[in-house]
Amino acid sequence: MGQSGRTLVPMTEIRGEKVDFRREDIVALHALPSAQAHDPVIVHTPRPGGAWRLCARLFLCCSLLVFIAVASLVAIIESGIVDGPLNARARTALNAALGQGYSADVESTVIRLTGGGALALKARGVTLKESGSGRHLARLGAISIALDPFALATGRIDVSRLEAEGGELDTGLLPRGEPIDLTAIRIADVGNALEELFAQGDRMSRLTAGRATQTVVLSNFSLKVSGVRGRVVPVEIKTLEFSHDPDSSMRVDGTIAVDGTESLLTAKALGNNGRIAAFEARLDALSLSPFLYHGKSAKEEAFGIEAAADVTLNAARATDGKKPALTATVKTSKGAFHAGGLVSTLNSSDLNLSYDFERASVEILSSMVRIGRSSFPFTGALIDLDKVAGADRKGFAVDLLLKNASSDPEDLQERPLAFDAKASGRFESDSHRLIFDQLAISSPLGSMAGSLSVVFGKTSPRISFAALSDRMHSRVVKQLWPWWLAKGARRWALANLYGGTVTDARIEVSIPEGRIASSGGELRLNERELNINFAIDDTRINIAGEIPPLRDTAGHFSLSGERMSVAVKKGAAFFPSGHSVALNGGDFVIADVYSKPLMAEMKIEVAGQADAIAELVRYKPIQALQKTPFTPEDFTGPMKALVGARFGLISDQKPPPPLWQVEMQLENVTIKRPIAGRSIANLDGTMRIDNERAVLQANALIDGAKMRIALTEPVDASANVKRTREISGTLDEAARAKIAPALSGMVSGPVGIDVSLAEDGSQSVKADLGKAVLSLPWIGWSKGSGIAAEAHFTIRATGGITEINDFHLTGEGFGGNGELRVDESGLASARLGGVRLASGDDFAVTVDRSRGGYSIDLTGTAADIRPALARVKGGAAAKDGGNVKINARLDRVTGFNGEVLSNVNLAYSSRGQQIDDVDLSAVTASGQAVVARLVKAGADNTLELTTSDAGAFARFIDIYRNMRGGLLNLRLRDRGANSWRGTVDIRKFSLVGEQRLQSMVSTPAGQDGRSLNQAVRRDIDVSTAQFERGFAQLLLDQGAIRVGSGVVRGVDVGATFQGTVRDSNGRMDMTGTFMPAYGLNRLFGELPLIGVLLGNGRDRGLLGITFKLTGPFSQPNLTINPLSIIAPGVFRNIFEFQ
């Protein structure tokens, strides 16, 4: 029931009846209850339409029918229902598109729509074959053939467009023809070949014009070609479209990738009236690297060109009134040229070629090659060799001309070299030889002429090159030297040769066939393959390191294989200090220009002043002077030096440290700075310095003394070199006094010395004292000249004090060892042991200087003190002055005449000539004591000496040798000023073998010529004269000894005496009376008158003689007065000498 209350009648019940609604019964649908629901259903009723709506419905129905038909056709095509029936026809259409000579096998064929909506036949698994031989050429992934829809509607299949993709062309599958016969190639045939090419174009144009296929597109094709050194180079055809125009023109456009680098290809054959009239082609950005460059490997450096080129080819066909034309242009982009491990910039270059149809030659038009900063404009021509007069071989004649070329290598900082060059030669086809008989280079700085021969074979070519030049500037050599040829030698020449004139230059290169290919890396030419020689004058050469360059140099350059040498004849080096040295000869050698690190050897001989050469060795790579305390200003005098070194030339190669050696010839060279406090002058000899040591061997004046010097000093602290400094020579008296004045008191005369300086500053000395006088004044010993003696000791000087250690003195019967200290005042102290001054000596001596004198201690088992006794007897001790203190403790002391004292203890001291103390105790050989002491009594000191064997003591001190026994008592009072007074008293002694006594009794005297023995009528035995007593007064003054009131009385004889025993000159002057005791009674009895008056009976009387002793103390002369009878106490003085 509705909202109006009416009852609704089902539709089935009112079907066929007419129902009328009033206006008020019509209600809007959205007002109905169903429209008010939560999810209403709204139905829009169509508006009332017209006639146009009917038309639209009809069109829609037709379109739907067409769409259904097309969709059904597409579905049929894409479903493959028609693939089978069309497969045979597709193969036929594909073969028709390929043309004659080629056929295709198709695995499957489908009909599909192209991306543009056209209908296409797509063949998969297509294999292209040569029709005649059936040889496979390529296998393609798919070929799409665009079909002509109108032909297809009539049941025919016509190809309007062909596209191939996904193929690979193997050049090995291409038909193989006969090998190219180079002898058959002629430049004159280029015109005919060009016309044949145009004829082929005509035929292709007509063939394509008669076919429906107007466009062929290739994409994603790849093939492989051979590149440099047989490397496989992939070539990918990205897209390549061939099209044919109605005017018979043909066009190819596409993109080709060579070794991954894309290039654009455009080629067009221009048609005119059904024939090809011209041809033009252009290939942009073609990569040259795969064909002209090989990269660096473990065995070989990179070589070749890395660049891209735009290649243009233009050809025009001969027509009525128009000559044919053929030109080609190659323009390279900026790239790189690799050679010998070096890279040069290849700037934009161009090659322009044109064919001269009248001369049948290839003309090289104005072209340009730019490498780095260098530019090489050139022109030229190629022509058949048989057109050249006199030629009997097939090939090509070649002419090249460079005009206003400029060489400016990037690694050379000099002005560019402008030059012209010409090359004329030929290529012999049958022998594959390229020969340039004439090579010439001309520039304002000089010229060069040469020849070149290259023979090409199955491997690398054989190359022969030779060039000569009489005279040119060194810049020409540096500018034109190829950087890849002997680059080590070239690098040195560029960096170290400046200016100068090159003469007699000769270059020879001879590389055998296969040598380059078998090099296995960098080409290292040997002495049979590469030789460069030239003389050079007035040039500047940089030697090495920081050494100033040699100027005004003349020499000879030689490169023989890997060995480069520069022999220098003369030159000069000037230093910033103003010094200079002259070069008298030398050489600079690189033993192997290919080695790494690149090493060089240098040897030069220089002359100049010592300070200049000393400055030379300061520079790198030598740097010898820095390792010494000297500066160049420390040396004066002329010098020659031979300098040698081995060092690396390129620091980036990390060469080993340089090795060097300098040998200097010294001539009167003086070192201004003292060495070890000594002046060194007039050096004559050699001095060698190297990395490890400096060795000097020369004669020199050291503090004015001529000496031989041999020094070895370590230069490198890490080197295992022992420092040795040896000086040898002979010091005369003046030199010794100047060098070692402290030894003046001990050494005199010439001394040969060998001195070795130790690391700690001490000196080891070996002295030859054979010609010297050696004195030890503190013990009174000396060695005379001519007695062999040597001394070994070490010296260390510190603060004016010289310490002598390890002193060893050896000689004939003497020696000693110990140590001494010497200062400016002389001997300061000594410690000597094992002293032997005579045979049997064995004692030690200690000497210390204090308070202006010496303190001496002697200890030991035996000592010979005869030198000391002789010194005392000679008065030298009194003359020496100074203070002396002696303490001696000796088991045995040897004196004169074989006498020995034992158990000797001596204490002695003196101040100048003043004796302060004497204390002596000893035992003679007979066992008798000897005691002496100085008794001090205020201002007067008394020396007392007592011994029971006076004869032994007298013989010991060599006063008198003929005395035996006796008790001696000596007392001397010191009066000061070396003056002594006293007495000597000797009892119970005898004289044995005294010849002077024998002379007194046996010498004839008087008028009757009788001797004393004859007078007493018997032989008086004086061979052993016994005496009861001897007494005399002693007077000692300044070394002179006098006696007075002297008397000796014995059993058989007696005597009185007085006079000078020894004066200051060592002479004697004594007088006396000698009387025999027997004969006193007998003599007086025989005298007629005197005996009665004065005698004491017949045999009683007094008889004697007077005597005189004069002359040297050791051998005085005895004079005897005539025999006289002497009355006791009355006439004695009458006959004595006055």
Inform me whether the pLDDT recorded for 4 exceeds 60: no
- The count of C-alpha atoms lying within 13 angstroms of the C-alpha of 734, restricted to the half-sphere facing its C-beta, is 6
More confident residue, 58 or 555: 555
Alpha-carbon distance of 520 to 200, in angstroms, equals: 47
Inform me whether the pLDDT recorded for 726 exceeds 60: yes
Inform me whether the pLDDT recorded for 663 exceeds 80: yes
Our CA dihedral for 871, 876, 880, 885, rounded to 10 degrees, sits at 40
Alpha-carbon distance of 194 to 192, in angstroms, equals: 5
Residue 854: pLDDT band with limits 50, 70, 90: confident
- What is the pLDDT, as a whole number, of residue 617? 81
C-beta atoms surrounding 961 within 10 Å: 14
- What is the pLDDT, as a whole number, of residue 449? 95
Q: Report the percentage of the chain scoring pLDDT > 70.
A: 74
Inform me whether the pLDDT recorded for 398 exceeds 70: yes
For CA atoms 548, 551, 553, 559, the dihedral sign is positive
Instruction: Please compute Rg for the chain using Cα positions.
Output: 68
Indicate the range of 807-811, 857-861, 1020-1024, 1091-1095 predicted with least confidence: 1091-1095
Inform me whether the pLDDT recorded for 49 exceeds 60: no
- What is the pLDDT, as a whole number, of residue 378? 95
96: CB partners within 8 A, 6+ apart: 159, 211, 213
Which one, of 613, 615, 544, 563, lies nearest residue 584 by Cα? 613
Pairing of strands 929-937, 940-947: antiparallel
Which pair of structure tokens corresponds to residue 544? 């090495």
Residue 173: pLDDT band with limits 50, 70, 90: very low
- What is the pLDDT, as a whole number, of residue 1002? 72
Residue 564: pLDDT band with limits 50, 70, 90: very high
User: Which of 74-83, 106-115, 900-909, 993-1002 is modeled with the greatest confidence?
Assistant: 900-909
Alpha-carbon distance of 360 to 724, in angstroms, equals: 87
- What is the pLDDT, as a whole number, of residue 1009? 62
Cα 790 to the center of its chain, rounded Å: 44
Residue 323 φ then ψ, to 5°: -80, 155
Inform me whether the pLDDT recorded for 116 exceeds 70: no
Any bridge partners for residue 363, and if so which?
Answer: 354, 381
In order of 743, 925, 945, 992, the CA distances from 953 in angstroms are 35, 10, 11, 15
Alpha-carbon distance of 624 to 855, in angstroms, equals: 52
The residue type at 711: L
- What is the pLDDT, as a whole number, of residue 1092? 41
Instruction: Map out the domains of the chain as residue ranges.
Output: 78-173, 180-370, 373-541, 566-712, 723-859, 865-992, 994-1138
Inform me whether the pLDDT recorded for 467 exceeds 90: yes
Inform me whether the pLDDT recorded for 400 exceeds 90: yes
Indicate the range of 181-190, 907-916, 1001-1010, 1082-1091 predicted with least confidence: 1082-1091
Which one, of 441, 546, 442, 538, lies nearest residue 497 by Cα? 538
What is the mean predicted confidence (pLDDT) over 814-832? 85
Contact 808/815 with Cβ under 8 angstroms? yes
245: CB partners within 8 A, 6+ apart: 251, 271
- Whether the upstream peptide bond of residue 33 has omega within 30° of 0, thus cis, is no
Residue 181: pLDDT band with limits 50, 70, 90: low
- Give the end-to-end CA distance of the chain in Å, rounded to a whole number: 215
pLDDT tens per residue, range 629-642:
778 888 888 888 88
Which pair of structure tokens corresponds to residue 661? 């050696």
pLDDT tens per residue, range 868-894:
777 776 665 555 556 888 899 999 998
Q: Can you give the length of the chain in residues?
A: 1138
Cα 131 to the center of its chain, rounded Å: 77
Q: Report the percentage of the chain scoring pLDDT > 90.
A: 22
In order of 20, 196, 224, 325, the CA distances from 201 in angstroms are 92, 9, 27, 17
Rounded mean pLDDT of the chain? 79
Instruction: Collapse the DSSP code of 478 into the 3-class scheme (helix H, G, I; strand E, B; otherwise coil) and give the result.
Output: helix
User: Which of 437-446, 811-820, 1097-1106 is modeled with the greatest confidence?
Assistant: 437-446
Inform me whether the pLDDT recorded for 27 exceeds 70: no
User: Which of 6-10, 119-123, 185-189, 1102-1106 is modeled with the greatest confidence?
Assistant: 185-189
What is the mean predicted confidence (pLDDT) over 378-405? 88
478: CB partners within 8 A, 6+ apart: 409, 412, 414, 493, 494, 497
Inform me whether the pLDDT recorded for 66 exceeds 60: no
Residue 1084: pLDDT band with limits 50, 70, 90: very low
Which one, of 884, 779, 759, 771, lies nearest residue 832 by Cα? 779
In order of 613, 635, 641, 685, the CA distances from 666 in angstroms are 11, 11, 8, 5
Alpha-carbon distance of 485 to 956, in angstroms, equals: 100
Inform me whether the pLDDT recorded for 51 exceeds 70: no
Indicate the range of 168-172, 238-242, 850-854, 970-974 predicted with least confidence: 168-172
User: Which of 132-136, 397-401, 764-768, 1117-1121 is modeled with the greatest confidence?
Assistant: 397-401
| Residue 500 Ramachandran class (φ > 0 left, ψ -120 to 50 alpha, else beta) | left
What is the mean predicted confidence (pLDDT) over 97-109? 68
Inform me whether the pLDDT recorded for 806 exceeds 70: yes
Alpha-carbon distance of 1073 to 1102, in angstroms, equals: 12
Instruction: Collapse the DSSP code of 1098 into the 3-class scheme (helix H, G, I; strand E, B; otherwise coil) and give the result.
Output: coil
What is the mean predicted confidence (pLDDT) over 959-982? 88
More confident residue, 202 or 934: 934
pLDDT tens per residue, range 931-941:
999 988 776 78
The DSSP call for residue 486 is: S
- What is the pLDDT, as a whole number, of residue 123? 72
Inform me whether the pLDDT recorded for 1040 exceeds 50: yes
Query: Can you tell me which residue has the tokens 């060009």?
Result: 194
- What is the pLDDT, as a whole number, of residue 1044? 92
User: Which of 34-38, 462-466, 757-761, 823-827 is modeled with the greatest confidence?
Assistant: 462-466
Our CA dihedral for 979, 982, 987, 991, rounded to 10 degrees, sits at 30
- What is the pLDDT, as a whole number, of residue 1065? 85
Burial degree of 10 (CB within 10 A; 0-12, 13-18, 19+): exposed
Alpha-carbon distance of 474 to 114, in angstroms, equals: 73
Which one, of 241, 314, 244, lies nearest residue 282 by Cα? 314
Residue 1087: pLDDT band with limits 50, 70, 90: very low
User: Which of 43-47, 67-71, 987-991 is modeled with the greatest confidence?
Assistant: 987-991
Residue 521: pLDDT band with limits 50, 70, 90: low
C-beta atoms surrounding 323 within 10 Å: 9
- What is the pLDDT, as a whole number, of residue 921? 94
Residue 616 φ then ψ, to 5°: -60, -45
- What is the pLDDT, as a whole number, of residue 166? 63
pLDDT tens per residue, range 313-344:
999 988 877 889 999 999 999 999 887 677 88
Cα 238 to the center of its chain, rounded Å: 61
The DSSP call for residue 779 is: T
Which pair of structure tokens corresponds to residue 1021? 């035995």
- What is the pLDDT, as a whole number, of residue 394? 84
Interior angle at CA 97, CA 91 and CA 99, nearest 5: 105
